[in-house]
Amino acid sequence: MMSRLTLWLTLLTYAEIIVVALGSLILHDTRGHSSVNKRASSTVSQPVIWQDLADIEIIRVNDTFYYSASTMAYSPGAPILRSTDLQNWEYIGHSVPSLDFGSSYNMTDGNTAYVKGIWASSLKYRPSNGQWYWIGCIEFANTYVYTASSPTGPWIKHATFEGTCYYDCGLVFDEHDTPQVAYGSTNIQVATLSSDLTSQVSNTVVYTYDKYVEGSRFYYINGYYYILGVAPGAAVEYVIKSSSPTEGYTGGNIVANAPSCPVSNGGAPHQGGIVDDPQGNWYYMAFCDAYPGGRIPVLASITFDDDDFPVLSDVNSWPSTVEVPLDQDVLSSPTGTDKFSGASLGPQWEWNHNPDETAFDVNDGLTLRAATVTDSLYQARNTLTHRILGPVSVATIEIDFSDLQSGDRAGLAMFRDVSGWIGIIKTDKSAQISVWKNITMNSAWTTNSIGALETSKDISETSVFLRASADIRPGGDATAQFSYSTDGSSFTDLGTTFAMNTTWEFFMGYRFGIFNFATESLGGSVNINSFDLALGA
Ligand SMILES: *[C@@H]1O[C@H](CO)[C@@H](O)[C@H](O)[C@H]1NC(C)=O
Ligand SMILES: *[C@@H]1O[C@H](CO)[C@@H](O)[C@H](O)[C@H]1NC(C)=O
Ligand SMILES: *[C@@H]1O[C@H](CO)[C@@H](O)[C@H](O)[C@H]1NC(C)=O
Ligand SMILES: *[C@@H]1O[C@H](CO)[C@@H](O)[C@H](O)[C@H]1NC(C)=O
């Protein structure tokens, strides 16, 4: 099977994009308390949410929309967000609680799984039994099914299809409630599964494109089966349809012909999903490549043409806003202060790989005990990551480092294949607040360079606020500035700006990462009292 990486290397030629208005995000003052008033209808501005949430599956159950996305090696994987108005989304859980796909996902044998793990996968609700299902292929090898009776979980591994890869799959429950899975590239296949989704009954090639197409999304709408697919380099979205799930597909019609991203300098929206609202209006939500921030969702209205194929009102252009006859609901805000209250992390958090559960506690604050002795941030377990909010956002942690040991390093990173951080370097004699840069991965996504210290200064306090201000606009500066404060209000820049890598090969965008690792021996710990995320200028 052709590797997606190889293909994208040869095909990726995104058109440069002309301007449309930048999306505006709804601002909220305090976490969990929306300042949005209820209205009879609303306008969705672009991007829908400026966060890295690629390989969209969007579904609706009753009045609520649900969104699932790829997370590669981040754990837990496949986040679920919900919305009632298609604009405001909140994280409610993850379909894959732990990446139980081999020891490299635990980093326990020194191996890592960056860029592997959860790629395009599918989330569906089954009305006949009230169960939610997630299905995805890992590393071109095995397919896994997870299930839950509520999208918030608990999710459990339900089945493993050993040696069967439903690459880039979409799940549908057909008119007889039989699970069908569309998957593959160019030769689009449909597998019929047993009713309990534990085995394959049959599979067949249902359509062959004359070009490379992948990213299947599968629907049953008004008596027709629809399979969407994308030519990724060209960013053209195609659709085929049939009255049978397993044969007779025709079409290859164009849903969206590489329209310009409504976010300036973003790549053309592609590889999306379609959904209707309770009033029967249809939408297509796709993502724009927007590095260094990752792949961000945008929304468009669609109609069904005379032959019942879904299509943008103008296949070549994307609207800058979309009117939706939907009430806005009160959802938790992406901005605000997380004090790590309660005993577990909120569903917006994901670790760099499966965490060492014995090395952290959430108890009105987050305690990170060093989990790995290493010189490389990339080999360290238990780096806790948070998506960056575009276009510019500011993350601030309050860190108490009185329990660090000599050799420990803890702080706030700009985390990706080229990383840097602001943090504490502890030695026998002192603690120094430091900026460390040029941490890089090689093409096998393991450590190329552990980087180097740019600057440091002694700090006599045992607690400090660390900040990263990140500008992730595509085509923009792609820089972050690190700073620190001892009082939480007056911040001092440390080091020169950090330059983010804007290439796409790592797929996932930059994240804020909270880390603590040991270079000498385990035993040290830090307390993270808060994480604050604010939109920047
Ligand atoms: C959808 O609404 C129906 C009717 O009110 C209800 O029985 C069902 O539980 C709802 N489904 C979900 C997943 O909320
Ligand atoms: C990974 O760690 C989890 C516990 O965190 C454990 O249940 C699982 O067996 C480990 N997997 C491998 C392959 O070591
Ligand atoms: C990082 O790499 C750049 C380019 O090679 C170099 O100019 C800079 O000095 C390096 N920074 C550190 C802290 O080593
Ligand atoms: C940015 O990433 C690309 C692709 O992984 C890599 O080839 C390039 O060397 C990186 N740039 C830097 C400055 O490391």
pLDDT at 263 over 70: yes
Q: How many C-beta atoms lie closer than 10 Å to residue 152's C-beta?
A: 14
pLDDT of residue 179: 98
pLDDT tens across 34-89, in order?
334 455 688 999 999 999 999 999 999 999 999 999 999 999 999 999 999 999 99
How many Å lie between the centroid of ligand 2 and the Cα of residue 399? 29
Going by alpha carbons, the residue nearest to atom 8 of ligand 1 is 62
The finding on whether 329 has its CB within 6 A of some atom of ligand 4 is no
Per-residue pLDDT for 14 more than 80? no
Give the distance from CA 455 to its chain's centroid.
32
- Give the ligand 3 atom nearest the CA of 437: 13
Region 391-411: mean pLDDT is 98
Confidence label for 332 from pLDDT (cuts 50, 70 and 90): confident
Q: Residue whose CA is closest, atom 2 of ligand 2?
A: 106
Ligand nearest 278 Cα, by number? 1
* Confidence at 11, pLDDT banded by 50, 70, 90: very low
pLDDT tens figures, 287-304: 999 999 999 999 999 999
pLDDT at 328: 72
- State the pTM of this model: 0.93
What would the pLDDT profile of 135-150 be if each residue is shown by its tens digit? 999 999 999 999 999 9
Q: What are the residue ranges spanned by the domains of the chain?
A: 2-325, 336-535
Q: Could you report the per-residue pLDDT of 458-496, keeping only the tens digit for each? A: 999 999 999 999 999 999 999 999 999 999 999 999 999
Given this model, what pLDDT does residue 41 score? Answer: 83
> So what's the pLDDT on residue 109?
83
The atom of ligand 2 lying closest to the CA of 100 is 11
In percent, how much of the chain has pLDDT > 70?
92
Would you list the DSSP string of 332-388?
--SSEEE---SSS--TT-EESSS--GGGEEESSSEEEE---B-S-GGG-S--EEEEP
Amino acid identity of residue 22, one-letter, is: L
Q: Is ligand 1 within 6 A of the CB of residue 205?
A: no
**Closest Cα to atom 4, ligand 1: which residue?**
62
Which ligand 4 atom lies nearest to the CA of residue 502? 1
pLDDT band at 176 (very low <50, low <70, confident <90, very high): very high
Is 70 exceeded by the pLDDT of residue 26?
no
Q: For domain 336-535, which CATH number applies: 2.60.120.200, 1.10.10.60, 1.10.260.40, 1.20.1250.20?
A: 2.60.120.200
The residue contributing the CA closest to ligand 2 atom 14 is 103
Is there an atom of ligand 4 within 6 Å of 440 CB? yes
Q: Which CATH architecture has domain 2-325?
A: 5 Propeller (2.115)
DSSP codes, 223-246: TEEEEEEEETTTTEEEEEEESSSS
Mean pLDDT of 208-226: 98
> Per this entry, what is the length of the chain?
537
In the predicted model, is pLDDT for residue 419 greater than 50? yes
Peptide bond into 76 cis (omega under 30): yes
Nearest CA residue ID for atom 1, ligand 1: 62
Q: Strands 187-193 and 200-208: what pairing? A: antiparallel
Q: Given this model, what pLDDT does residue 17 score?
A: 26
| Position 4 pLDDT exceeds 50 | no
Q: Report the pLDDT value the prediction gives residue 38, as an integer from 0 to 100.
A: 53
The b/e string for 75-112 (b: 16+ C-beta within 10 A; e otherwise) is bbbbbbbbbbbbbbbbbbbbbbbbbebbebbbbeeeeb
Query: Which residues surround ligand 2 with Cβ inside 6 Å?
Result: 102-103, 106, 108, 354, 357
